[in-house]
């Protein structure tokens, strides 16, 4: 039981110490120590980032973790892991919103031009246009705060409830999960406002965005 | 210290060389010291457009390989002499005969001597393009109102950003106002919508260009030509003047009459 409170795993972003429930901090610390002992000196000399899935850690608790890691020859990297959530030092996290790894979001503050391809594990938000000949592929949602005229593939790993949103949704081709749709060959009147594409049944459907 | 500007487009045949020749000549006419460099190795034609083909002895490759001094390879313009010179490209070699590092060195040298160095880039995004952008401080992207040309211009703007050449100026070439009005050609705002970079100038499609190109005398010095006027405006903008985009409406009684009927003329 208690071993699941805390895991040390390698990830795309190096070693990550994942704490599933910060409210049971004493047990977390025990679990971490057991893990470190069990791993012998396997992790020695490496640095790890901290990921808290539920609850929060105070800064003194983070210091304690850092001390414990140091005893085992490891450093704590206080930057947030690239794929997840930073160590939260204040503010409770509502229990109803458990953070998930795939919720990481890439913010792109420029226009993606022809020939440029963006691949990301998570959601993508583009503050700019996605021009014809450009391509965005990601495992989550795609939001374009501008015109989407290129190719967008949301939910690329099979997430059928992924959406594609754009202020002007005029893509060359739209893909969500395994479904593909393309712009009709005849010219349509340009959309007047933000639109969103999602899977309805076994087709990709566009609708005017309303919240 | 002069400024090195690369003139590029991605797509071929949109008027890079004509633009280079005209802007260079225009800048020289405005009193600047200008050097034009043809980087289209193996497919040179800036020398032809400038009417200087028969004066070539040494070329860019001779200079970077140290077979001659830089000064020996620079060809003086017929009209402007020392103020406008051309460094021609070798015609018998391949693009990879020159490296980006060599180009950077060369530009360093030319920048000392001239107010403006204009690099005529080859079409494409390969070695020749990389050579052309290597030593540049700024870029001008040439396009025409066609979807393929605009698409390639977009690609080039992305590649220029990757080469740390930000905020290029856009020259839209061969615009036919009549066709735009009828909705048969992309309009300036259609192009601006996609590329979203500063428009340096709009050049109307003009038969004078073909005549002047064949004669080897850039149209920018022809005070009666509409395209010449457009190039002179671009030169003034490069020199920092605020010049409004010219009205591209075709002149002539019939056109005036048509515009009255369509309610365009006020």
DSSP states of chain A: -GGGGEEEEEETTEEEEEES-GGGHHHHHHHHHHHHHHTTTTTTT-EEEEEE-SS---HHHHHHHHHHHHHTT-EEE-SPPTTS-PPP-SSPPPTTS---GGG-EEEE-SPBPTT-EEEESSEEEESS-B-TT-EEEESS-EEEEEEE-SEEEESTTT-TT--EEEEEE--SEEEETTEEEE--SS--PPP-S-EEEEEETTEEEEEE---
Cβ contact (<8 Å) for B154 and A132?
Answer: yes
Q: What is the pLDDT of residue A196?
A: 96
Residues pairing with B175 in the sheet: B204
Q: What is the pLDDT of residues A22-51, one digit of tens each?
A: 888 888 888 888 888 777 666 777 788 888
Once rounded to an integer, what is the mean pLDDT over residues A87-112?
63
Lowest mean pLDDT among A88-102, B138-152, B185-199, B201-215: A88-102
pLDDT above 90 coverage of chain B, percent: 82
- If one compares B219 and A41, the residue with the highest pLDDT of the two is B219
Chain A residues within an 8 Å CB radius of B193: 147
Q: How far apart are the first and last CA of chain B?
A: 47
- If one compares A83 and B40, the residue with the highest pLDDT of the two is B40
What is the residue extent of each domain of chain B? Answer: 3-261
Least CB–CB distance from B196: residue in A111, A116, A132: A111
Level-2 CATH architecture, domain B3-261: 3-Layer(aba) Sandwich (3.40)
Q: What is the pLDDT of residue A1?
A: 46
Q: Which of residues 137-176 of B touch A (CB under 8 A)?
A: 151-152, 154-155, 157-159, 161
Give A21's pLDDT tier (boundaries 50, 70, 90): confident
Cβ contact (<8 Å) for A133 and B157?
Answer: no
Give A10's pLDDT tier (boundaries 50, 70, 90): confident
Q: What is the pLDDT of residues B110-162, one digit of tens each?
A: 999 999 999 999 999 999 999 999 999 999 999 999 999 999 999 999 999 99
Residues B53 and B44: their CA atoms lie apart, in Å, by 10
CB distance from B243 to chain A under 8 Å?
Answer: no
Q: What is the pLDDT of residue A4?
A: 72
Query: CB of B64 within 8 A of CB of B41?
Result: no
Q: Which of A27-41, A68-82, B74-88 has the highest mean pLDDT?
A: B74-88
Q: What is the pLDDT of residue B65?
A: 93
Distance of CA A53 to the CA centre of its chain: 13
CB distance from A115 to chain B under 8 Å?
Answer: yes
Nearest 5°: the CA angle B217, B220, B221 is: 70
Once rounded to an integer, what is the mean pLDDT over residues A131-147?
96
Once rounded to an integer, what is the mean pLDDT over residues B231-237?
97
Query: Chain A to chain B, count of Cβ pairs less than 8 Å apart?
Result: 28
CA nearest to A55, candidates A81, A102, A22, A6: A22
Q: Which domains does chain A have, with CATH numbers?
A: 2-77 (3.30.750.50), 101-208 (2.160.20.70)
- If one compares B254 and A68, the residue with the highest pLDDT of the two is A68
């Amino acid at each position: 039981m208690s071993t699941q409170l805390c895991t040390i795993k390698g990830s795309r972003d190096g070693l990550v110490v994942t704490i599933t429930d910060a409210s049971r901090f004493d047990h977390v610390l025990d679990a971490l120590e057991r893990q470190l002992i069990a791993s012998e000196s396997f992790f020695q000399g490496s640095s790890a980032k901290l990921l808290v899935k539920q609850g929060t850690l105070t800064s003194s608790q983070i210091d304690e973790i850092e001390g414990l890691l140091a005893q085992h020859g490891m450093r704590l990297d206080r930057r947030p892991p690239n794929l997840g959530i930073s160590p939260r030092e204040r503010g409770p996290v509502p229990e109803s919103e458990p953070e998930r790894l795939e919720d990481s979001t890439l913010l792109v503050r420029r226009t993606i031009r022809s020939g440029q391809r963006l691949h990301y594990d998570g959601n993508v938000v583009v503050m700019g246009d996605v021009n014809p000949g450009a391509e965005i592929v990601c495992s989550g949602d795609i939001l374009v705060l501008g015109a989407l005229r290129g190719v967008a593939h949301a939910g690329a790993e099979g997430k059928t409830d992924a959406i594609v949103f754009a202020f002007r949704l005029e893509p060359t081709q739209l893909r969500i999960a395994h479904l593909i749709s393309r712009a009709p060959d005849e010219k349509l009147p340009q959309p007047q406002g933000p639109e969103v594409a999602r899977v309805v049944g076994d087709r990709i459907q566009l609708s005017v965005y309303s919240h | 210290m002069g400024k090195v500007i690369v003139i590029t487009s991605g797509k071929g045949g949109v008027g890079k060389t004509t633009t280079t020749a005209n802007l260079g000549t225009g800048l020289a006419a405005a009193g600047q010291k200008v050097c034009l460099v043809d980087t289209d190795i193996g497919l040179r034609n800036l020398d032809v457009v400038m009417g200087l083909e028969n004066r070539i002895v040494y070329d860019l490759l001779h200079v970077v390989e140290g077979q001659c001094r830089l000064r020996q390879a620079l060809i003086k313009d017929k009209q402007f002499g020392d103020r406008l010179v051309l460094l021609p490209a070798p015609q018998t070699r391949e693009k990879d005969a020159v490296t980006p590092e060599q180009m950077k060195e060369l530009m360093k040298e030319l920048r000392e001597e001239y107010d403006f160095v204009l690099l005529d880039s080859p079409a494409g995004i390969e070695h020749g393009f990389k050579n052309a952008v290597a030593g540049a401080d700024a870029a001008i992207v040439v396009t025409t109102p066609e979807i393929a040309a605009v698409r390639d211009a977009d690609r080039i703007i992305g590649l220029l950003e990757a080469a740390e050449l930000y905020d290029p100026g856009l020259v839209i070439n061969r615009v036919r106002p009549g066709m735009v009005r009828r909705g048969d050609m992309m309009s300036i705002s259609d192009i601006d919508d996609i590329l979203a970079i500063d428009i340096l100038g709009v050049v109307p499609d003009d038969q004078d260009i073909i005549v002047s190109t064949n004669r080897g005398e850039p149209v920018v010095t022809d005070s009666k030509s509409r395209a010449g006027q457009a190039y002179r405006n671009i030169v003034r903008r490069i020199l920092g003047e605020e010049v409004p985009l010219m009205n591209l409406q075709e002149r002539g009684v019939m056109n005036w009459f048509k515009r009255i009927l369509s309610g365009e003329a006020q």
